[in-house]
Amino acid sequence: MAPAKIHTRDGLGWHAAGGVHTRGRAFRGDRLLHTQQLGEHLRDAAIAGRFAAAAAELNGFFSCIVVHDGAIYATVDHARSMPLFYALVGGQVYLSDDAAWIAEQFGGLELDPACEQEYALAGYVTGPDTLDRRIKQLQAGEALTARDGGIETARWFRYSRDKRCEYPEEELAPRLDAALGSAFDRLVAVADGRTIAVPLSGGYDSRSIVLLLKERGYANVLAFSYGRAGNHEAEASRRLAAEFGLAWEFVPYTERLWHTWFNSEERRAYYALADNLASLPILQDWPAVWELKRRGVLPADALLVPGYSADAFPASRRRPPSSPVYQNNAPRREVILDAIYNYTYFLWDWSQRRHELAPLIDARILAALGELDGFCDSAAAIEAWGIQERQAKFITNAVRCYEHWGYDWWLPLWDRQFVDFWTHVAPAYRAERRFARTHIARMQARITGAEYVPPPDPRRRTTLQRSAAWLRGVGERIPPVAAVYNAVRARAQYATHPLAWHGMIPRELFLKLYRGRVHINSFLALERLGRLSFEPAARPGRERP
């Protein structure tokens, strides 16, 4: 086999020495291994023939490539937080954190039509594939070995719940406290006194971050929010920051600002870093971090700590306990596929092409999941899908935003101990995240000394929400009503969305194509694939229709 062609991007903290390329850091037991130490540990493990086993012992966020004795070893962490891509063409191995670089070695892209269609509907490519049929990606918790003209991969981590190991009810709260406590002790060790910057919303996940930091007496915390002035999430963020005594910054978003940001060279550079022929770059935090850096309120050594992916581990997605997802003792193919359709493949309505697209999508879902009888029930399969596909390949990829602006990050709600806790929680405590939300609310009362306020019932809807749901139902049965409803809703969405980010899209184009569940990523996915032009020279619409 010809020597491997290995390439890593500049500016991302890679350390290269003695045939080892390492990025990130991780805990081995109680010891924090920084980049060089981590590389040495994994190199020694590769030499000893236990490379994947050594990676499985780590708790952190990293990528590593080891070249030793004519073989190549590579791995990414359990969250795929620092992705690696590879190809084997003509006996030559290509390995990089930049999929576009690999494509350049072949003279350009060779698109896979099935992956392109999946990207258009989901915003990312599942399984080991990318948009280029020759280039593969290491999946969450996967190790690669290349030798003798071939490549083998093996997963050392899979998120999997086992009913035989469920915790009894009385153990849930103390075990969750222990998992969160250990995860945040590790965060504090990584931060080491630096400013921890938290994108704080009114939700429970980012709230848990500032609460647990407050409990540990970590004072150097900056909370921030963004969006249209006065939006609900930002106001909730401001109130929480005041209640917890945190410094707080707000970055205003408008349609005109989004138009400028999207058409900037900085945005194009961010896409080049974050896309990797595998996932639509997430833009939500991107301008806010840019502005905070420009203001000088975000120190160069700040550690960004977002609240994902705590909501992923219970596979609720707002499903009540009566949902079919929770009503069977064995995985059911139709229940799993239907849930994943609604969870993942919703950027555009494909109901009229169901006979054509369902076989393609089913095949991709089932290939990524493997044998369904390996899961204890339907919910377990859906959770596994959400963790290894949507969260690892799409949501977690949002940390590229921080890297683009030169910042470090850490994900305490991807901590291995926290992840492991959820593999022992019965479905009855996962539905609608009721247990998790109640636990965080009680934790807030305990840490702040305030009165306990139960979380709102997720199924309780306002009169306006009930009316909108009724109107949507009518529209499904009476197309003229649907047309009027969509037209009115499109104008309202463009002019009032809390993030104002529809300004990226020419108003006329948005109003023409907006339907039902369509949102910003629907347009961005087609724009990335070259199927839709945003006409960069076009002026955005008025801020009110």
Q: What CATH code is carried by the domain that includes residue 224?
A: 3.40.50.620
* pLDDT tens, position by position, 404-416: 999 999 999 999 9
Residue 89 sits in the same domain as residue 198: no
Residue 472 has pLDDT above 70, yes or no: no
Residue 141 sits in the same domain as residue 252: no
Q: What is the pLDDT of residue 461?
A: 63
> What's the CA gap between 238 and 244, in Å, rounded?
10
* pLDDT tens, position by position, 17-56: 999 999 999 999 999 999 999 999 999 999 999 999 999 9
Residue 24 sits in the same domain as residue 100: yes
Residue 12 sits in the same domain as residue 151: yes
For residue 149, give its domain range.
5-112+130-155
Q: What is the mean pLDDT of residues 97-109?
A: 96
Residue 100 sits in the same domain as residue 49: yes
Residue 422 sits in the same domain as residue 469: no
Q: Kindly report the number of other CB atoms within 10 A of residue 69's CB atom.
A: 8
The continuous run of DSSP H or E covering 472 comes out as: helix 463-477
Helix axes 520-528 and 113-122, enclosed angle (nearest 10) = 160
Task: For residue 282, tell me if it sits in a domain.
Answer: yes
Q: What is the pLDDT of residue 476?
A: 58
Q: What is the mean pLDDT of residues 186-209?
A: 95
Instruction: Record the pTM.
Output: 0.93
Place of tokens 């596994």: 384
Task: For residue 120, tell me if it sits in a domain.
Answer: no
Please give the mean pLDDT across all residues of the chain. 91
* pLDDT tens, position by position, 303-362: 999 998 877 766 555 667 778 887 777 899 999 999 999 889 999 999 999 999 999 999
Task: For residue 247, tell me if it sits in a domain.
Answer: yes
Residue 80 sits in the same domain as residue 210: no
Residue 283 sits in the same domain as residue 419: yes
Task: For residue 457, tell me if it sits in a domain.
Answer: no
Identity of residue 460 = R
> What's the CA gap between 144 and 83, in Å, rounded?
13
The string over 320-358, giving b where at least 16 C-beta atoms fall within 10 Å of a residue's C-beta and e elsewhere, is: eeebebbeeeebbeebbbebbbebbbbbbebeeeeeebe
Q: What angle (nearest 5°) sits at the alpha carbon of residue 74, between those of residues 70 and 80? A: 170
Q: What is the mean pLDDT of residues 270-292?
A: 98
Residue 23 sits in the same domain as residue 90: yes
Q: What is the mean pLDDT of residues 279-287?
A: 97
Write down which residue in 413, 448, 483 finishes a domain. Answer: 448
* pLDDT tens, position by position, 478-491: 767 677 777 788 88
Q: Can you tell me whether residue 295 is helix, strand or coil?
A: helix
Task: For residue 361, tell me if it sits in a domain.
Answer: no
Q: What is the pLDDT of residue 181?
A: 97
Residue 433 sits in the same domain as residue 474: no
Q: What is the mean pLDDT of residues 116-143?
A: 98
Domain count, the chain: 3
279: DSSP letter: B
Write down which residue in 415, 448, 481 finishes a domain. Answer: 448
The continuous run of DSSP H or E covering 382 comes out as: helix 378-385
Tokens read off for 528: 């990335």
The more confident residue out of 494 and 458 is: 494
* Positive or negative torsion for Cα 39, 40, 46, 49: negative
Task: For residue 338, tell me if it sits in a domain.
Answer: no
Contact 193, 176 (CB under 8 A): no
Residue 480 sits in the same domain as residue 524: yes
Residue 68 has pLDDT above 70, yes or no: yes
Contact 393, 278 (CB under 8 A): yes
Residue 429 has pLDDT above 90, yes or no: no
Task: For residue 513, tell me if it sits in a domain.
Answer: yes
Q: What is the pLDDT of residue 342?
A: 87
Task: For residue 80, tell me if it sits in a domain.
Answer: yes
Residue 39 sits in the same domain as residue 107: yes
> What's the CA gap between 228 and 543, in Å, rounded?
11
84: CATH: 3.60.20.10
